[in-house]
Amino acid sequence: MSKKLTYSEAGVDRETRAKSKQALSMLKQTYTLGKYGKVVQLPYGNIFLAGDCYLDLVIEGVGTKVLLAQLADKYDTIGVDGVAMAVNDVIRSGATPLALVDNFHAHVSNPDLVKEWLKGIVKGAKESDCPVPGGEIGDVAAIIKGLTQGKGFDLIVASVGDVLEENIISGTTIKPGDTVVGLRSSGVHSNGISLVRKVLFKAWGGKYEPYDIPDGFDREIIYEALEPTKIYVKPFLNAAKKVDVKGAVHVTGDAYIKFDRFMKYSKGIGFEFTNFKPQPIFKLIQKTAPAVGGEITDEEMLKTFNMGWGFAIVVDKNDADEAITVCEKSGVEAELIGNVTDSGKIVAHYKNKKLQLR
């Protein structure tokens, strides 16, 4: 029997991370501080009162995808990933992103490298209609080494958005019979990359050299993995103007088990997913795993990767068609991918199997 290969074994332990996040409860003692002293807790992050509206402030990174950029010696798209990770999180509350700032920690802030990094930041900012009024570049060679001498870096992007109280997506009105609409991803995005690296790239014990072209692909595997994260700001905001969005999920780390957050805000519900459209790279990851000493189960794939849908919204079943139409007119493929049940479980129908994810 082959060894099970998991995201935890690749370096990201879900259980340890969940225990670590419990420490965030310490921050609640700060929620009444400040000029307005009001923080509202939501399924995915919190917002705070600022005058006549609420602000959603998010800070995100792109994880070890920076190592893929270094492996390819290609740096002009990683900024798109950074922007996407931040603004896609901001919109979950119903907020409109207002601005971005970036923080690059670099081995050396080489001027040519900085220009390449910022190309992606600018592109992402334009896609999300956000100015970038500031940022930071820190030279921290003692911390950042990198695969390529002098080109190691880490990337963090923060975004702030605003939302009126009546437009907050609280996740409290979801009921059995509602539907889940998925918005198409562009590939692996910026999640599960530790597992991607371990399976696909020889630099980390995987099968392929970065410029190999596996059967069935029309470009080098490194470029498939570096495909930038899709930005959903405009399609989502357009849909939210037309239909009542009851919940919004950025399908990132933990993938489909992330939907359990809604189960804490709308009691007695569960989720059933019936439609996955994984791009070829997901199939390659799972198919290649045995060649590098392990097996990735279908459950692990659905708990780690977006499997074709990078963002999802929960709407009344009568609003599903309009939500899909608006999203597609805004430039992103959208389909019905599941529904809300009364099971208290998260279930996926995949490869003719019924899998209980939570």
Residue 271: per-residue pLDDT: 98
- Cα(67)–Cα(282) distance, rounded to whole angstroms? 19
Residue 5: per-residue pLDDT: 75
- Cα(117)–Cα(110) distance, rounded to whole angstroms? 11
Domains of the chain: 31-167 (3.30.1330.10), 179-356 (3.90.650.10)
Strand partners, 156: 61, 103
- Cα(143)–Cα(186) distance, rounded to whole angstroms? 32
What is the token pair recorded at 264? 């804490």
Please provide the DSSP assignment of 80-103 as one string.
HHHHHHHHHHHGGGTPEEEEEEEE
Helix ranges (DSSP H) in 28-92: 65-72, 78-90
Residues found in the chain: 358
What is the token pair recorded at 276? 């996955």
- Cα(247)–Cα(172) distance, rounded to whole angstroms? 8
- Cα(342)–Cα(175) distance, rounded to whole angstroms? 8
What is the token pair recorded at 64? 């070890």
Which of 9, 23, 16, 46 is CA-nearest to residue 265? 46
What is the token pair recorded at 26? 């310490």
Element (H, E) at 50: strand 45-50
Per-residue pLDDT of the chain (358 residues; tens, 9 = 90+): 467 778 766 667 767 777 787 888 899 999 999 999 999 999 999 999 999 999 999 999 999 999 999 999 999 999 999 999 999 999 999 999 999 999 999 999 899 999 999 999 999 999 999 999 999 999 999 889 877 778 899 999 999 999 999 999 999 999 999 999 999 999 999 999 999 999 999 999 999 999 999 999 999 999 999 999 999 999 999 999 999 999 999 999 899 999 999 999 999 999 999 999 999 999 999 999 999 988 999 999 999 999 999 999 999 999 999 999 999 999 999 999 999 999 999 999 999 999 999 9
Greatest alpha-carbon pair distance for the chain in Å reads: 60
- Cα(64)–Cα(178) distance, rounded to whole angstroms? 36
Element (H, E) at 311: strand 309-315
**96-106 and 134-139: which strand pairing?**
parallel
**270-273 and 346-350: which strand pairing?**
parallel
- Cα(254)–Cα(13) distance, rounded to whole angstroms? 11
124 touches 84 (CB < 8 A): yes
- Cα(124)–Cα(331) distance, rounded to whole angstroms? 15
Residue 148: per-residue pLDDT: 74
Structure letter (DSSP) for residue 294: -
Which of 196, 204, 224, 227 is CA-nearest to residue 212? 224
45 touches 89 (CB < 8 A): yes
Q: What are phi and psi of 248, to 5 degrees?
A: -140, 135
Block residue for tokens 């509206």: 53
